[in-house]
Chain A
Amino acid sequence: MLNISDIMQTVNMIDHQHLDIRTITLGISLYDCADENINSCAKKIYDKICSKAENLVKVGCEIEREYGIPIINKRISVTPIAQVAASCNGEDYSIIGHALDDAAKTCGVNFIGGFSSLVHKGFTNADKKLINSIPKTLSETELVCSSVNVATTKAGINMDAVALMGKIIKRTAELTAQQDGLGCAKLVVFANAVEDNPFMAGAFHGEGEAECVINVGVSGPGVVYKALQEVKGRSFDVVAETVKRTAFRITRMGQMVANAASERLKIPFGVVDLSLAPTPAQGDSVARILEEMGLEICGTHGTTAALALLNDAVKKGGVMASGHVGGLSGAFIPVSEDEGMINAVRKNALSIEKLEAMTCVCSVGLDMIAVPGDTSAETISAIIADEAAIGVINSKTTAVRIIPAPSKKFGDTVEFGGLLGAAPVMKVNQAGCSEFIKRGGRIPAPIHSLKN
């Protein structure tokens, strides 16, 4: 029989250290839903999602009960809608947004991602229509998430798209002003977006993907934090080894759940995303892991190095535990969704500039950051451009999910509730950058993109 201490370790991880499967995300291709008539297209999309995802939540709950492991989210990602809707008549794609929202509600999932567009090199007519429909869609729907890829290492940065997204984010905040700009929490601007990311708000079912696929995102900052408490004062060699061992266990569990879900739903397994995804709950924070390494508070000098070690060790530990690793894979640092990050911002220890440095060494970017409501569209675009540059030059995914919270000032707090948490409004550099953004065009791909 298994060792009693191993068994109790697993039970304790689940009961006391927030070990869970963060999401089972069903990717569904919608290419066969294209139709000249946008209403017919929307109906086909609704019908296909409801038929493919019919059993997703039921099976997820079954696995939760049988294995005793919480599966926090069951979600759906779909083909970027700009590609599906390209042959539709009409300008307003929010009709399709509503179909996605209705389908998500019928299936019982808590988010659906893919109201998306890939414009890293340029816009098609459909891309323009989709992007212009984002503010209305996010303000009128509850569960739809949107993402726009504005840059890749291969193509460079589409600065016209960067400029446009600043305006779209501002407009989305205005239309959801009564909820403190909640719409912007469901909108991600990417560089080097991945096609198989199971996490929201940036999930979509990429063009290289199969008809349907199961992707799983694991979590477990609390487990890593607890493991590091056991090696206080020891060298970084020991810290790295401890994180690797813990990540291995977490990922093995994720792979097992992915296999079980794939078998029961009769849908192929895609990837496990090895991510340390925090929640606002006490003891489920990435920031607290960094502090456990010896930092007084997250954001102080040393934070970037601590995060680099953590991010790398999570990947090294996880990669052997899974057949296929994908998605974003690394540590997430969403401010509003991490109790320790919120604390660090409130104590003025963590700034946007420091977060930007941290995004150079972790899996995503400036995530769930609230800024004053009077922040200009150009400043938001420039923040996006900086993040995109980090992603493009370092051949990694970066993203910006920023909320210019209407009528909020530096020091206020924005409450989103649930997994989205609460975000302290952060200070933004006041110096202008509008002439920079106004230039438009493309920032060329870096020299190291020429690998052939």
Chain B
Amino acid sequence: MKAIMTVIGSDRVGIIASVCSLLASMDINILDITQTVMEGIFTMTLLVDTSTSKHSFDEIRSALIQRGEDEGLNIHIQRTDIFNAMHRV
């Protein structure tokens, strides 16, 4: 399944490393990544493919949310369909 991840939080060293290493540990492939810092707020979106992972979507989601809570980041993972539905005619 292809999903969009969004990561938002105060900018500091190591956010990308932390998130990406967690994804790697669950065998989730990153297809695209965009990152910016606006007024000190770190914002990153990733297009990921979860089909290579042996973990269920719920397990992946829980692990990401937990990592977000541990590190003070707001992390979402959502199927790409919702963004396509809302922003593509």
- Taking beta carbons and an 8 Å cutoff, which residues of A are in contact with B? 1-4, 6-11, 15, 65-69, 249, 252-253, 255-256, 260
Contacts and interface: CB of A to CB of B under 8 A. Distances in A.
B77 interface: yes
Contacts of B86: 6, 10, 249, 252-253
Contact of B85 (A1, A11, A65, A253): A253
- The 4 A-B residue pairs with the shortest CB-CB distance, nearest first, are A68-B78, A256-B85, A1-B32, A6-B87
A67 B47 contact: no
Given A65-B57, A252-B86, A253-B85, A1 B79 contact: no
B80 interface: yes
Nearest to B44: A4
Nearest to B36: A4
Given A2-B47, A7-B6, 16 more contacts: A2-B45, A4-B45, A6-B83, A6-B86, A6-B87, A8-B43, A8-B45, A10-B82, A10-B86, A65-B58, A66-B57, A66-B78, A67-B81, A67-B82, A253-B86, A256-B85
A4 B34 contact: yes
Nearest to A11: B6
Nearest to A14: B76
Contacts of A11: 6, 8, 76
Contacts, number: 66
A4 B33 CA distance: 10
Say what secondary structure dominates the interface of chain A. helix
A252 B85 contact: yes
Interface residues of B, number: 27
A327 B77 CA distance: 32
B81 A68 contact: no
A67 B43 contact: no
A9 B58 CA distance: 24
B34 A67 contact: no
A317 to B, nearest CB: 12
10 contacts: A1-B47, A2-B45, A4-B43, A7-B83, A8-B43, A11-B76, A65-B57, A66-B78, A253-B86, A260-B81
Contacts of B25: none
Contacts of B45: 1-2, 4, 7-8
Identify which of A7, A8, A66 gathers the most chain B CB atoms within 10 Å of its CB. A7
B43 A65 contact: no
B4 interface: yes
A252 B88 CA distance: 10
A175 B23 CA distance: 57
B84 interface: yes
A65 B45 CA distance: 18
Contacts of A69: 78, 82
A252 B84 CA distance: 9
Nearest to A13: B86
B61 interface: yes
B87 A256 contact: no
A65 B58 CA distance: 7
Nearest to B32: A1
A6 to B, nearest CB: 4
Contacts of B82: 10, 67-69, 253, 256
B82 to A, nearest CB: 5
A173 B58 CA distance: 45
Nearest to A260: B81
Interface string B1-34: 1001010100000000000000000000001101
Contacts of B81: 67, 256, 260
Given A65-B58, A67-B79, A2 B84 contact: yes
A355 to B, nearest CB: 33
B6 A8 contact: yes
A255 B32 contact: no
A309 B45 CA distance: 36
Nearest to A67: B82
A66 B74 CA distance: 17
Nearest to B84: A2
Contacts of A9: 87
A251 to B, nearest CB: 9
A361 B87 CA distance: 30
Contacts of A249: 86-87
Given A2-B87, A249-B87, A256-B85, A7 B79 contact: no
B43 A68 contact: no
Nearest to B83: A2
Interface string B31-61: 1101010000001010100000000011001
A3 B77 CA distance: 16
